[in-house]
Structure 1
Amino acid sequence: MSGERPGTTPRLSVLDQSPVGAGFSPADALRSSVDLAQAAEEWGYVRHWTAEHHGSADFAGSAPEVLAAILLARTRRMRVGTGGVLLPRYPPTKVAEVFGVLASVFPGRVDMGLGRAGGPAPDYPERLEAVRRLVEPDTGPPGGSRGAPRMWLLGTSVNSALLAGRLGTDYAFAHFLAPGPATAALTAYRTAYTGRTGRPAPGGVLAVRAVTAESEEHAEALAQSVLLWRSRKDLGADLPLPTPEEARRHRWTALETERAVARRGGLVWGTPDQVQERLTALAVGHGVDEIMVNTLTCDPADRLRSYRLLAAAFGAETRLAPAGA
């Protein structure tokens, strides 16, 4: 990406958490991630990231670098990476070596996304710097060497944005987790990046949770399923995503309703045209030219359909980007 002002239509990419729905197994979720990556490439999505979660009933992706390797082998063109590897859990040398192998086999297509979650990490900045030195020994722009992975820092705060800018890496903001700081964080990232490198900053990527369907009624049902799941999770219940039918029949407690209201701002839903309009407004408002879409549904078929409808609404298949984008 360039640091230029984005156009009116952002590019689309995928943040895949391999969601596990009620009645489905973790194996079903992982197989659906492979199906999604292959379809998303054909529909014009420019990158696909796999997430890391452990001991979770709702997400199956516990080894994102392994899943990323599978997706790289099953796709041909789009960038594939992690969103992200939880760096406090691993030695920097091991992380750099794993991604070095991937980038050697799939040059120009590997994104190494790193995050802070996963445990106490007072030395997190030093760990990031160690990884950066190992994977980007040259002095060119991030990912400038075709044989190196492209390094991304993931975050939800101004602090993470400043760190990415000062390291000279790419940056993805998790709007779906904490929409509020997005503008301040992306601004801080661009300022810090230019101060360190003397170059215009990449625009950054905004990761947004969104779901769409052919009708407003179906989209609303899918959204209520997500909000019920998220409300329960906030209150300590780690469960698979409920079916839309379960969400429709559910008697919401006062605390669940309170959490759902708090979480609505982090979810975009509606018909494809409605979601396209809202995501485009978010991209323009935050100065990014790429929206990373995170879609959660109980049934993998609903998720696949949502990504297909969204790609069609954006005309993504007519704007296929080269792998190095």
Structure 2
Amino acid sequence: MRSQNSPRWLVILAFMAIYIVWGTTYLAIVYGIKGFPPFVLTALRCVIAGIILLVWCLARGEKLPNAATLKNTSVSGILMLVGGTGLVTWAEQYVNSGYAAIIMATEPFFFLLMDRKEWGIYFSNKWVLSGLVTGFTGIVLFFHYTQAAPQEAKDPGMLLTGNLVLLLGAILWVIGSLYAKYKLDHSHSNTLTTGLQLLAAGLFSALTALFTGEWADFNISAASPAAWGGLLYLITMGSLVAYMAFTWLITIRPPALVSTHTYVNPVVAVVIGWAFANEQITLLQIMSLLVILVGVLFTNVPNYRLVKANKQMTVN
């Protein structure tokens, strides 16, 4: 198997990328939006990363897919990377990076609710049902304690709106992921598909920025070194290193194991935001985060058991 031939140190680095790097991108967005409007930042991030991946694929002799595949790839990319990542970037004008990561940790629950073809499996399992109830309890508690907490935040009046936009972003990311799962032609490489998704999302973000007036208000010379650093980090570490590590890991390790980044990213984001951006979070909010993560853990118990059973069958 390929997993046996993969260097252990490389596997460890890849897990560090999806655990730590993805968790730190929420703070990188905070720095990025200090000099770039949110959809301008998303456009530059996605277009540059997409071009890099596509040039790499074309240089290796890969061919672009047909028009139907291009359309489906573009739709999935726009839903995930504009509806998901773009809305996260917009919301972080009003919501701390740690809050953003916590809300986005709800994605596994929306996968369960929206993947109708798998409902017969999901809703007949007590672990999944327990996870849904536990997770959404954590979400409600987090919203309650966030609204009740004293806010030194950017704009207290927009705090609830920002959190709701994040929730919408999580939903759109899931819709885009499911669209990709059932509609995309998976005969092409992950690198090529990712590059096309990024480019489509970047162009759509640029168009969105045009209609919202962000390009008219944007002054590139006013962007601080910290903002440029945030953009560079998002391009290289967020859209290239971490995502490519993820797409590689799911080919050599069980998806249930790779999905554990869902538990780690919010914790990393909260700690990094507190340490480097002086973002405040209360004990009750942290407890709500733990409830959400327990819910995610419960919903994945069937997957862990399946992985364990498959290992035992392989040994026997």
**TM category, shorter:** under 0.3
**TM-score normalised by L of structure 1:** 0.26
Larger radius of gyration: 2
Structure with the higher fraction of residues in strand conformation: 1
Structure with the higher fraction of residues in helix conformation: 2
